[in-house]
Amino acid sequence: MNFAFGREEEAFRHEVRAFLADYRDLDGFFRQGRVWPRVKAMFQAMGERGWLSLAWPREHGGSDASAVMEFLLWDEVAYARAARNPLAAGIVARTLIRHGSAEQHARWLPPIRSGHLHFSLAYSEPEAGSDLASLRTRASRQGERYVVNGRKIWQSYAQDMDCLWLLCRTGSSESRGRGLSLLIVDIDAPGVQLTPHPTLDGEQLNEVLLEDVEVPVENRVGPEDGAWALMSEALADERHIQFPPGRVRRDLEEMNAWVREQGLADDPHVVRRMADLAVRVLEVEMHGLRVLDAMQKGLPAVVEAAANKVAHSVVCQEIARAVVDLAGPEALVEGVRPSLLWRQSLWETIGGGTSEVMRGVVARKGLGLGGRA
């Protein structure tokens, strides 16, 4: 057992930190919708350094870097509050690499790698959230095109993205997970309409209406009706960078600074509460590293990742709530950090798989208890 990173890894971490110094005020992690042009510019600068394709195979323009390097990159980006890791370079690109045709590689991978092409995942529907296999958006094959009709909801940042990574039904309505396909849909295509749903953190989630949207068959990734396995694989590739502990490490530091500013640092109740939170943050670090370790060894890390997501998201909320409780009315004022964190952290236990879904994974797959797969 060895809990330290190697010299080369630490050197890379420092290189990332130096790069991020220019983006210290970006705050794209929480406010991407408001600062997207700068976030996109940062992604392009990262693309120039080859950082968006760090762990891609060399033949696709990647560096074949280890999971550790990727983890360090996105952990630092999260700590700097600069951005969330882009879905295009992760889930989308990895699925394309594994299951896409040579034409698809040539068409999509270069602009993703350079940070010029961005995707929004379009999975959830009004009637299919945690129960994704029941989704209804239908793609009907008509010659060399699909005609897509349906409604997607809760897409973060879709208003700024270029394409939808659309999960839709190509099989019969009873086919559940066996009748789903993945399509790449241009967000400006005729028939695609976005409606914003303003959220409590001052950002927005989107609803995407698809009415007779024509999608060329060459935009389907992987086999028809075969998307379920692809999605699971892609998710597995991302487990170590989805919820980096840098986020909560930074939350705690900001909160500690806030508490001191409010003159509360000597209050024994405050000291105890901050100590409790410091322990929880270390717990989250351990969960994050456990996922990374499993990934490095080529293990599926399903249970580790579910545990990490629960711990991480719950601690986000605990920190936000503790500080609002401790700091009193000043923490309710619009624009101060505790107010934003309080509202934003509400989303963490819901988005990206609810805590209920994650706890179900730990129970069924970790503890071997029965129940719905």
Partner 1 sequence: MDFELDTDQQAILDAVGVLLAQYAGPGRAIDLAAGDAYDFDLDAALADAGFTQVAATRGTGPLEAALVTEAVAAAGGMVSFGAAALVATGLGAGDLPGPIAISEARPPGPVRFASHARTLLVLDRKADEARVVALEPGTCAAVRSSFGYPMGRVPDALARSGDALGGGSAARLACWWRLALAAEATGTMAACLDVTTRYLSQRRQFGQAIGSFQAVQHRLAELAIQIEASKWLAREAAFQGAPAEGVATAASYALAAAAQVFAETHQLSGAIGFTREHDLHVFSMRLQTLRIEHGGVGAHRRALSAERWGRA
List of residues contacting partner 1 (CB under 8 A):
124, 127-131, 134, 153-154, 197-202, 205, 269, 317, 321, 324-325, 328-335, 339, 342-343, 346-347, 349-351, 354-356, 372
- The position carrying tokens 């986020």 is 247
Cα 363-369-373 angle, rounded to 5 deg: 80
105's enclosing H/E stretch is: helix 102-113
Tokens at 160, concatenated? 């700024």
Can you say whether the dihedral through the CA atoms of 259, 264, 268, 270 is positive or negative? negative
Cα–Cα dist 163/8, whole Å: 36
For 138-169, b/e burial (b = at least 16 CB within 10 A) is bbeeeeebbbbbbbbbbbbbbbebbbbbbbbb
**What DSSP letter does each residue of 340-356 carry, written as one string?**
HHHHHHTTTTTTTS-HH
CB contact at 8 A, 216 and 144: yes
Cα–Cα dist 164/188, whole Å: 10
CB contact at 8 A, 168 and 185: no
Q: From 95, 72, 10, select the one nearest 292 (Cα to Cα).
A: 72
The CA dihedral of 351, 353, 356, 357, to the nearest 10 degrees, is: 170
Q: To 10 degrees, what angle do helices 302-327 and 337-345 make?
A: 140
For 78-100, b/e burial (b = at least 16 CB within 10 A) is bbbbbbbbbbbbbbbbbbbbebb
Please report, in angstroms and rounded to a whole number, the separation of the first and last CA atoms in the chain: 33
- The position carrying tokens 């989630």 is 205
Cα–Cα dist 107/109, whole Å: 6
Closer Cβ to partner 1, 53 or 339, answer by number = 339
102: CB partners within 8 A, 6+ apart: none
